Structure 1
Amino acid sequence: MGHHTAAELIALNIAVLTVSDTRTLDTDTSGQLLIDKVISAGHTLADRAIVIDDIYQIRAQASQWIASAKVEVILITGGTGFTSRDSTPEAMTPLFDKVVEGFGELFRHISFAQIGTSTIQSRALAGLANNTLIFCLPGSNNACHTAWDEIINAQLDARQGPCNFVPHLIDIERGECGVRGN
């Protein structure tokens, strides 16, 4: 009662950004993995890009999508580690209107079973900016599998109860998990 779930999937427009100094469209396996998962889940690929691990290039591409009414979700893969070139969290955090604290926490909790204490070196994070949901994931295929299969897919499915992110992204009736008032 009061929770919003839909009877059928509501396809979202999702953009995929790969952050890498070395990957190309031919070698971007984690970006392609996310694209395949987006499409197989019934969503629409709105756009795809690869940028080098540079705070301002990451922000520029993400800002373009955040400002677009045609992109509801951004999946960013890469740049979340601790090397001197990893700068996705620094690039994205200032753009967030709200941080989705639970995403990084849950991702690291699930990852602990897979990679042990190495998970503390993951700076995976998520947030909302201009009603666009943004997930920042590590660049490995395994991390992208984990994030999509265990967390993101369900939260982008309007049929998922008791809560999902779809009412925050598009104009549908909002229940207790949606935003307040009209």
Structure 2
Amino acid sequence: MADRDFIPVRIAVLTVSDTRSLDEDRSGQVLVDRIAAAGHVLAARTILRDERAEIADQLRAWVADPEIDVIISTGGTGLTGRDVTVEAHRDVYEKEIDAFSTVFTIVSMNKIGTSAVQSRATAGVAGGTYLFALPGSPGACKDAWDEILVKQLDYRHMPCNFVEIFPRLDEHKRRK
């Protein structure tokens, strides 16, 4: 890691909740605090209700924003009728990062046992932007950041990381 310089990533945080305000958003605040502590940039932050179209529209707007590299949402990944964040993310993805869900489940199993099966955390790529959908609990946000994202969003992490392939995420759109 010593031979690579840190590259700050610009991250937007979306909290999905029918009931929380920014003052009550503990999960979003966990992410904001960890983003800053890691040396990254908070590019945007908002709260939306559990409405699939509104979530997907916000994700698309942030994907189109050249000042945002990564989007992390928290909330709406469970099994109840109002949990539509995963579907909204998948409406936007060009490619899904299937292994993120698997790794998150492994991390969660070590913390909460078989209750981990109730999460539908997911990740994908769209328009050269990474998108991550995390559960709405502060503990789940801590686990996802501390065990996965802090490493994968650090250019110095070896043998590979998400940052080093940023330039290649939309290479299919370039002329040959």
1:116-131 map, 5 Å: 116-131=113-128
Q: Secondary structure at the match of 1:163?
A: coil
The one-character-per-residue Cα deviations of 1:95-141 (angstroms, maximum 9, x if unpaired) are 11111111110100111111111111100000000110011000000
**What's the secondary structure of 2:66's corresponding residue?**
coil
Gaps of 5+ in 1: none
Report SS of the residue matched to 2:21: coil
Q: 1:60: Cα distance to partner?
A: 1.1
Cα displacement string for residues 135-158 of structure 1 (whole angstroms, at most 9, x for unaligned residues): 100000000000000001100000
Alignment-derived partner of residue 21 in structure 2: 24
Provide the C-alpha distance between the structure 2 equivalents of 1:128 and 1:6, rounded to a whole number of angstroms: 28
8 Å Cα contact 2:56-2:91 kept in structure 1: no
- Could you say what secondary structure the match of 1:112 adopts? helix
Match of 2:35 in 1: 38
Provide the rounded CA distance (Å) in 1 between the counterparts of 2:68 and 2:119: 26
Q: Which structure 2 residues correspond to residues 150-165 of structure 1 after superposition, within 5 A?
A: 150-165=147-162
Determine if contact 2:78/2:119 at 8 Å carries over to the other structure: yes
CA spacing shift, 1:162–1:5, aligned 2, 3 Å: farther
- Give the Cα separation in 2 of the matches to 1:6 and 1:30: 34
Q: Aligned pair 1:7/2:4, yes or no?
A: yes
Identity among equivalent positions (%) equals 48
Equivalent residue pairs, number: 172
Query: Is the CA contact 1:5–1:161 (under 8 Å) kept in the aligned structure 2?
Result: no
Moved over 3 A (4+): 179-182
Is 1:84 paired with 2:78? Answer: no
Q: 2:69 touches 2:129 (CA, 8 Å); kept in 1?
A: yes
Task: Answer yes or no: is 1:106 the counterpart of 2:94.
Answer: no
Alignment of 1:140-159 (within 5 A): 140-159=137-156
Change (3 A) 1:5 1:128: farther
Q: More relative contact order in 1 or in 2 (CA 8 Å, sep 6+)?
A: 1
Q: Which runs of 5+ in 2 are unaligned?
A: none
More helix by share: 2
Displacement of 1:167 in angstroms is 2.3
Q: What TM-score comes out, normalization by structure 2 length?
A: 0.93
Considering only aligned residues, what root-mean-square deviation do their CA atoms show, in Å?
2.0
TM norm structure 1: 0.90
